[in-house]
Structure 1
Amino acid sequence: MTAATAPAARKSITLHRLREMHAQREKIAMVTAYDATFARLVDDAGVDSILVGDSLGMIVQGQSSTVPVTLDEMVYHTRCVVRGNRTAWVVGDLPFGSYQEGREQALRSSVALMRAGAHMVKLEGGGWTAETVHFLTERGIPVCAHLGLTPQSVHALGGYRIQGRDAAGADTLRKHARELAEAGAAMMVLELMPSAVATQVQADNPGMMTIGIGAGAATAGQVLVLHDMLNFTRGKLPRFVRNFTAEGGSAEDAVRRYVAAVKDGSFPDEALHGY
């Protein structure tokens, strides 16, 4: 391919660009990555956003949950991802114990992730977290909230269970989502909840970008754990995961198929992946 016919290099994805995509109803494709090699691969494959998730506790470290992951470990992996990434929007997880003591602790933890190269931080839960979100966003730190199944609270939730199945649970999720949106959260992961509830959350907060994982197709985008979608994870995968390696080709080919499927709306398929 000559220089004259080579495709133009992709511009860096910014929060403004993500909001434009959402306004234009273009779906946002996000995946996890924990190192420079996979960050470069998924960025080259066209993902809009990389989540440096505390899921690395289970995927990389072999832990039984995300709870043992430390802030220092999240900073280290964020730095690794940022070195490999060139254009995708990078979201860094605030791990368990790094923001629960209050907004000042949350600020210190967020600053550490931002200095490591994250463009946005993510925290879990609703209710008490709204004040923290407001405190952070007022200080120029973009925040992604996380409702539904919140893995840092897995022991309190009684395991990896679908959230919001009954009317009271659904109402609580919708209330917390409104509070977080009003507090300034620009993005919100909705994990493991009925599709109808996620649809209501997005409808209640049209300006906020909801990113679903096991939450149906009506969200503004989707996220999957990279190792799950590449069929690297051993054992039974959740219902909401699709193996994008089934059609063959390279890992990058599989990620490109994922991005295309999110963009054209063929993933997730409500019949196969919804609740």
Structure 2
Amino acid sequence: MKIKVLGSSAGGGFPQWNCNCANCDGVRRGTVKAKRRTQSSIAISTNGEDWLLVNASPDLLAQIAANPELQPARHVRDTGIVGVLVMDAQIDHVTGLLMLRERDTPLPLYATAAVWQDLSTGFPIGPMLSHYCGVEHRPIALDDTPLELAALPRVRIDPLPLTSKAPPYSPHRDAPERGDNIGLIITNLDTGKRSFYAPGLGSMEPHVLAAMRTADLLLVDGTTWTDDEMIRLGFSKKTAADMGHLPQSGAGGMIEVLDSIDSEAKRRVRKVLIHINNTNPILIEDGSERRVLTEHGIEVAQDGMTFEL
């Protein structure tokens, strides 16, 4: 089983188009050691030809251009993308669905009931695509029933509900529903190896920690370094916690959580931060924050990374 990082940045990408923070300005000018990144998405395959897209970012066309596996190769018009699974209804995870409208057949779309409601009403991508290729909604149940996809033989995907808020345009924005945001346990049934994927992780609930402790690869929320990062830089009045993200540093932060996973695991666990905001200093490869992560055995995702499990 292969898991490929198509995009490793949070919403807006890196550099963000309208941001002049030290990170964005530095990468544009070439004065900092950092790589450009597109908005977060991964793809999963067992044969290297058929890929399940997990989240469809606004940068999807650039991601397809950068990854030949997803490009047409077998017919006059086709794609390596056999379906899309969306973990929430946030703009940076679903807007790319509109870029797939030229398909010849309805797009298989895996989504929870709460997310599908949002994509049918507040941000009506489903009805919009009905005028083009159409969407075949395949429900994600949150009753401990795993997903098994014909295109991913011998791969099991277990969705986990995460505490979160629906997007601002959601009809239930102020009344969160189970399934507004999910994490995924992705297991290769032949090797027994598994990954836990959660680009948006605001709190460490017991069932989330339990899932993380079973994983060989952790791809988890790397949005901000500190809880007050956006406030301190003058970009927002919200903390990371307010936005549904666990910062890396500080008591109870992601570094501390990942250290605890290490201490309990009896095997090597690969720990990778993904969904990294453009303001996060871990983007600077020779910076002090990156050195801290390295000391804790934590990696920073970049576009194009591929993991085999």
Task: Identify the TM-score tier after normalising by the shorter chain.
Answer: 0.3 to 0.5
Give the structure with the higher percent helix.
1
Structure with the larger strand share: 2
The TM-score, its normalising length taken from structure 2, stands at 0.34
Based on CA coordinates, which of the two structures has the bigger radius of gyration? 2
Calculate the TM-score normalised by the size of structure 1. 0.37
